[in-house]
Structure 1
Amino acid sequence: MFIKSETKNAYQSLNAKSSWLQHIAEYLLSLPRSVKRAILLSIDFALSLICLFLALSLRYGHIAHDISPMILLAYAALPIIGLYLIGFYKGVARGFLDTVMGSVAQLFFVLIIVYGVIIYLNPLEDIPRSVPIIFLFLFFIWLWNSRLTIRELLTRWRGKSQQRLRNENGYDNVVIYGAGEAGKDLLEGLRNSHKYNVVAYVDDDRQLIGAYLLGKKIYPAHELMSLVEDLDVAQVFLAIPSISRAQKRQIIDKLSGIAIKIKELPSLEEIADEKVTVSSMRKVDILDVLDRQTVEPDEALLRLNIEDKCILVTGAGGSIGSELCRQVIKNQPKCIVLYELSEFALYSIHQELIAKQASNPAYKNIKIIAVIGNVTNESNLLRIFKLYNIQTVYHAAAYKHVPMVEHNPFEGVINNTKGTYHCARAAIKANVETFVLISTDKAVRPTNVMGASKRLAELVCQGLSQTDSQTCISMVRFGNVLGSSGSVVPVFTKQIQKGLPITVTHPDVTRYFMTIPEAANLVIQAGAMASGGEVFVLDMGEPVKIVDLAHRMIHLSGFEIKDAAHPDGDIEVIFTGLRAGEKLYEELIIGEDNVKSTDHPLIMQAMEHSFPLDELESVLFELTEKQKQFDVPWLKQQFKYFVEGYQESSQDDPQESYQKSRQEDSESA
């Protein structure tokens, strides 16, 4: 009992002493900089005198006491004056670096010469020539060790303060994956953070296992899962800027079953260009959780239809259209015309390109023209094509939201199909060299109006390509792009951020994915490979189940899935049922045997049936009249005739229901 009491008293005494020292440290740190500088300067002067006295005593072998105090003060003051003049006392003690002592060493070398001259000119004073060397050596050791001690004490004190703040405000335990230079720099950058507490390193290099880096132990990569559980880790930071996507996916797959946030350092290129610092962390690219590998673009194909040419992009303010504009301007066109119906979208991409032009001298001679216009206005398109001598057209303008077009079928077909017809015909009349239609995988055996309208647009282009014209017309078909308007990724991200349930239409629904920049790159390359009439299909990799994507995004955001097996989870996945016209699976080609490879590994060519142009034109001419009558059954009958594999949606269309109810009311009246 007595021992316990004594231990308790000793512990309380130690805590009291620690608290007392902490109060002193806080008081000293709160003093004005001039006062703190004066204190350090005074202490250094006192130690300079002591070092000089020790140097004399070491030289004589006994305590020197017969030298004038004024001489001692003058000799001791000289290095302090020199340190002040070189700015040694302007630095911050807590930010002291070993490199600062290089300047001090140079100063002391000069002082040795100065002392030698003084001793030579004043032989009456009994100070040997070796004393200045011993004196400055001792004083140098004092300066270096005193600053290192101050820095270490401040670091520890601030570390305890930050730990206290973390405990009060909450923080995340973090494991850094990668014990190289980037990992070391990252820990240095996170030391002042109140949000993160680095608890360990993980690395694949066996030679590093068990070692310590900046006080943190390095563990083998295969122990990552157990570390996350044992050390209550909330986040993993990938500190390997040169890591490949395949390696990154392997790491992510290791952690796929637990709720943990994964962030990564920027690429080496971004760090080298000083766009970001090594301590800048960002969320893992969603592409890293998809089983998809990218291929470097063929620069020759990218430049072929763009460099030193006049380019027009329809739908320039949309997701694909705006990225096409960004890719086009990189390849040095003579002129780029942005054709867009939405004023705000047009203004946004126009201002972005103008800003790029202002910041990059290579773009200064490129004309950037913004035109508000509708793709169904053929006369306006023809005027623009001729006015700016357009040589290449990328036709990205389209209504693409499946439920929206399903509820507005005529508007969708007029914009997507008839708009393509007028745009391509204007290009032919203006002798445009290349016309590329941006199509979609939803055009293959569609169950919705949007997909059917895009397949009709492809058929129109195929028909026009068979006419006697100088314009090379081709089509590029691909699936969903990550980050586009209406894409599931931004929708899921918002739902997760707000803590709402993630809504998925069906547990078996699958989709193909690629990034917007990659899609735009491949569109440009495919268009450059065309000779006329081709339907190019982009290799989208393996299809992804949307529910699996939702689960992975929940885990990567650090949350648990809430379901029957985990009722205490954070975020639930709710199945809402397929929307009007939505398919479970999307396809890229109509027939498995109707495809052949091209010179590009990610671009294939589909060999598909086409119709004579006059048959298609007769439907397009009749379309306006049928729109006035809102004759949706007629429209869908055309789909069944022209669009192979078209299946009408089993869900009732609201507009059709409205029309039927109006007709029934009229008959009953």
Structure 2
Amino acid sequence: MRLSGNRLLVKQLQFAVDLAILVGAFVLAYLLRFDFAFPRQEMIHALVQLPYVVLIQFGMLLLTGVYTFIWRYVGMAEMKAFLSAALCSALPLFALRVWLPEEFQQWRVPLSVIVIDTFLAFGGVLGARVIRRAQYERDQKQDKRASSDSGNGHKRRVLLIGAGRAGMLATKEIQNRGDSDMKIIGFVDDDPNKQRAVIHGIKVLGVTQALPRLVRELGINQVVISLVQASRQDFRRILDICEEIPVKVQIIPAFYEILQGRLNISRIRDVQIEDLLGREPVRLDEEDVRRFVSGKTVMITGAGGSIGSELGRQLARFEPSCLLLVDRSELGLFNIDRELRGTWPELSLVTLVADVGDRARMRSTFATYRPEVVIHAAAHKHVPMMESNPGEAVKNNVFATRELGELAGEYGVDVFVLVSTDKAVRPTSIMGATKRVAELVVQDLNRRFATRYVAVRFGNVIGSAGSVVPVFREQIRKGGPVTVTHPDMVRYFMTIPEAAQLVLQAGAIGQGGEIFILNMGEPVCILDLAKEIIALSGLRPFEDIEIVFTGLRPGEKLFEELETSDEQIVRTRHPKIFIGRIAAYPEAKVSEALERLMFFTRDGEERELRKYINALLPEAQLEVASESITPPPRNRSFLD
């Protein structure tokens, strides 16, 4: 009861203060209008007008919800409410001034008084709240500073690399948090126009080459990289400089928070290998994606994998009516299910442990949930392992795609998106060849059904399950050696969130029958990647950790491609998405090919299977042994 009484008292005090401000503003507006020489007749008019003017203004404050706000949290939303109240209160006063006849002169507020009073009244009411917020923040800082001092807290002396938007937001956030254990000493920036500039009271002390000297002279404990869009070369150069200084180096990675003008310093973290890719963050056309999935039932196969689970995370924020997660890995499904339920408790989420190759199970799923969008990310992706199990690759990557795609057509799915790979270009592996055949299947289905079928082709996803990065990290953890196939091997890489976002964007803009090709940027040398991961672990390549070259494994290529020379690449409205104009096979040829593939797979004719794929795909270069494919030696793992 006491708490309720205190709240009532605070509310009554708010009303009293605001009414006093409104009355004072109106009187001052009249005084300003008449240059403080208040004629007696105008004074009488003012006294007549005062009650209804204040009543209108106070009523608008109530109607616009100003009194539901908490003073110490005044922000842009509250500003809009104040602006609405000001405009809505001025309009009836203007109307009375214009429409009332001359005999009601005493009720007609002069136009100049209306304008002046509106600014003074609502500026005063808003100003009172801004002052209250400033007092609250000052008290909070003092309390936190006192708490920190009593705990003998020691602040780290920090240099920020980059005096751009990220650096400014980081500075503001750290300064506003009295409990932060950071003290920003200065900025370092290579922009000559920013040298010696002062930002939020913090000076730009020099260029990045001066880092070692500045760290030494100023007693710096930590360096934070606050560069939003640095190239891979610039980032590598900065890290090389940082290797010369004996302090902790971290990074601000939260690009989307920076775009929205906010930043949480808890996001500052250690530098990761993904940061060295130097890729510009994806800017989704969110309206396109929202129209694509909002209010719809969306089915993701392979939802427990790296790409599938990230697709689930990305889709959840666009408010599908139901998100249907399908995978045969119960652990992967359990993890993403628990994560999404914790992050999006209102999301309608269904998780199904199921094999997409089980047609009866999939038919039951389509009949029960009626998905409107299907994103097919389930596949066998491990190149060397599929070389020894080609039949399984064909069954999962080709026939499961066909069966799932046919069900999508039969049950009226709007869009079916196949997640493909750059290994489908001039394939030298069973995995790549089966994904290329899956693309042909999708193009064929697009002719047969009203559903829009598209494929999205991209390269390696850094950090995904089975990718080279976690393998390198595990080898480093064990003390080495790190195994690299060939010193000249290069691959295209993108981050998991980037890949998932571009898959959604491609699905949103697809008209049907397209094979979308994602802009993978510049290829990365695997040897350089291994060296960088070793360096980020605080070790030296070839000294602390040995690097061993193992040679190409079955089905591997030194260089990956995203399109062949005879494929015409067409731009889309999204700068990172292209369309490959790739000739589709006639329906009869696709049907015959699937029959032949089924025959060789069922009978275990691996050699004939490889020969037929080479004949089916003229660009394919599968190795065909004179005898059956032999398993890898016992002393060599697929992860070597």
TM-score in terms of structure 1 length: 0.63
Q: Are residues 258 and 334 of structure 1, via their aligned partners in 2, closer, same or farther at CA, if it must alter by over 3 Å? A: closer
Q: In the alignment, is residue 278 of structure 1 matched against residue 259 of structure 2?
A: no
Select the residue among 420, 434, 444 that pairs with 1:453. 434
- Match of residue 528 from structure 2: 548
1:266/1:278 contact within 8 Å kept: no
Question: How far apart are the structure 1 equivalents of 2:571 and 2:186?
Answer: 49
Question: How far apart are the structure 2 equivalents of 1:155 and 1:211?
Answer: 31
Question: How far apart are the structure 2 equivalents of 1:184 and 1:300?
Answer: 31
Q: In the alignment, is residue 425 of structure 1 matched against residue 406 of structure 2?
A: yes
Q: In the alignment, is residue 476 of structure 1 matched against residue 468 of structure 2?
A: no
1:533 partner letter: G
1:314 partner letter: T
- Match of residue 227 from structure 1: 213
- Match of residue 229 from structure 2: 245
Cα deviation per residue 1:202-243 (whole Å; 9 max; x = unaligned)? Answer: 456889989999xx9985224436439978999862164xx3
Q: In the alignment, is residue 604 of structure 1 matched against residue 578 of structure 2?
A: yes
1:315/1:339 contact within 8 Å kept: yes
Q: Are residues 394 and 444 of structure 1, via their aligned partners in 2, closer, same or farther at CA, if it must alter by over 3 Å? A: same
**1:46-65 residue pairs with structure 2 within 5 A?**
none
- Match of residue 324 from structure 1: 311
Select the residue among 516, 539, 544 that pairs with 1:536. 516
2:482/2:530 contact within 8 Å kept: yes
**1:167-186 residue pairs with structure 2 within 5 A?**
177=161, 182=170
- Match of residue 346 from structure 1: 333
Q: Are residues 391 and 559 of structure 1, via their aligned partners in 2, closer, same or farther at CA, if it must alter by over 3 Å? A: same
Select the residue among 535, 547, 555 that pairs with 1:581. 555
**1:254 offset after TM fit, Å?**
3.4
1:175/1:202 contact within 8 Å kept: yes
Q: In the alignment, is residue 491 of structure 1 matched against residue 471 of structure 2?
A: yes
1:271/1:277 contact within 8 Å kept: no
- Match of residue 275 from structure 2: 288
Q: Are residues 277 and 394 of structure 1, via their aligned partners in 2, closer, same or farther at CA, if it must alter by over 3 Å? A: closer
- Match of residue 130 from structure 1: none
2:385 partner letter: M
2:171/2:184 contact within 8 Å kept: no
- Match of residue 28 from structure 1: none
Q: Are residues 223 and 342 of structure 1, via their aligned partners in 2, closer, same or farther at CA, if it must alter by over 3 Å? A: closer
- Match of residue 630 from structure 2: 657
Partner of 1:657: helix, strand, or coil?
coil
1:510/1:585 contact within 8 Å kept: yes
2:579 partner letter: Q
**1:419 offset after TM fit, Å?**
0.7
1:548 partner letter: D
1:320/1:516 contact within 8 Å kept: yes
Q: In the alignment, is residue 264 of structure 1 matched against residue 244 of structure 2?
A: no
Question: How far apart are the structure 1 equivalents of 2:420 and 2:275?
Answer: 25
Let me know the Cα RMSD of the aligned residues: 4.2
**1:284 offset after TM fit, Å?**
2.2
Q: In the alignment, is residue 377 of structure 1 matched against residue 358 of structure 2?
A: yes
Q: Are residues 473 and 207 of structure 1, via their aligned partners in 2, closer, same or farther at CA, if it must alter by over 3 Å? A: closer
Which segment drifts farther, 248-257 or 503-512?
248-257
Question: How far apart are the structure 2 equivalents of 1:219 and 1:592?
Answer: 53
**1:571 offset after TM fit, Å?**
2.4
Question: How far apart are the structure 2 equivalents of 1:599 and 1:332?
Answer: 24
**1:539 offset after TM fit, Å?**
0.8
1:292/1:542 contact within 8 Å kept: no
**1:636 offset after TM fit, Å?**
0.6
1:185/1:279 contact within 8 Å kept: no
- Match of residue 304 from structure 1: 291
Unaligned runs of at least 5 residues, structure 1: 1-147, 164-171, 359-363, 563-568, 660-669
2:367/2:411 contact within 8 Å kept: yes
Query: How many residue pairs align between the two structures?
Result: 481
**1:200 offset after TM fit, Å?**
8.7
Q: In the alignment, is residue 519 of structure 1 matched against residue 468 of structure 2?
A: no
**1:94-133 residue pairs with structure 2 within 5 A?**
none
- Match of residue 238 from structure 2: 254
1:382/1:429 contact within 8 Å kept: no
Which segment drifts farther, 408-417 or 592-601?
592-601
**1:416 offset after TM fit, Å?**
0.4
2:629 partner letter: E
Identity %: 39
Partner of 1:620: helix, strand, or coil?
helix
Cα deviation per residue 1:121-165 (whole Å; 9 max; x = unaligned)? Answer: xxxxxxxxxxxxxxxxxxxxxxxxxxx9xx99x989979xx99xx
Question: How far apart are the structure 2 equivalents of 1:233 and 1:592?
Answer: 59
Partner of 1:347: helix, strand, or coil?
helix
Q: Are residues 230 and 332 of structure 1, via their aligned partners in 2, closer, same or farther at CA, if it must alter by over 3 Å? A: closer
Partner of 2:420: helix, strand, or coil?
strand
Question: How far apart are the structure 2 equivalents of 1:221 and 1:618?
Answer: 65
Q: Are residues 354 and 291 of structure 1, via their aligned partners in 2, closer, same or farther at CA, if it must alter by over 3 Å? A: closer
**1:457 offset after TM fit, Å?**
0.5
Question: How far apart are the structure 2 equivalents of 1:461 and 1:620?
Answer: 13
**1:252 offset after TM fit, Å?**
3.8
Question: How far apart are the structure 2 equivalents of 1:286 and 1:513?
Answer: 11
Unaligned runs of at least 5 residues, structure 2: 1-141, 633-640
2:464/2:496 contact within 8 Å kept: yes
Question: How far apart are the structure 1 equivalents of 2:258 and 2:574?
Answer: 31
Cα deviation per residue 1:284-328 (whole Å; 9 max; x = unaligned)? Answer: 243332242234110122122211111111111111111111122
1:390 partner letter: P
**1:336 offset after TM fit, Å?**
1.5
Cα deviation per residue 1:355-399 (whole Å; 9 max; x = unaligned)? Answer: 2232xxxxx2x4211122212222322221122121111011101
Question: How far apart are the structure 2 equivalents of 1:285 and 1:587?
Answer: 26
Cα deviation per residue 1:616-637 (whole Å; 9 max; x = unaligned)? Answer: 3334344454334321111112
Larger Rg: 1
TM-score in terms of structure 2 length: 0.65
Q: Are residues 519 and 266 of structure 1, via their aligned partners in 2, closer, same or farther at CA, if it must alter by over 3 Å? A: closer
Question: How far apart are the structure 2 equivalents of 1:510 and 1:188?
Answer: 45
Question: How far apart are the structure 2 equivalents of 1:352 and 1:619?
Answer: 41
- Match of residue 369 from structure 2: 388
**1:645 offset after TM fit, Å?**
1.5
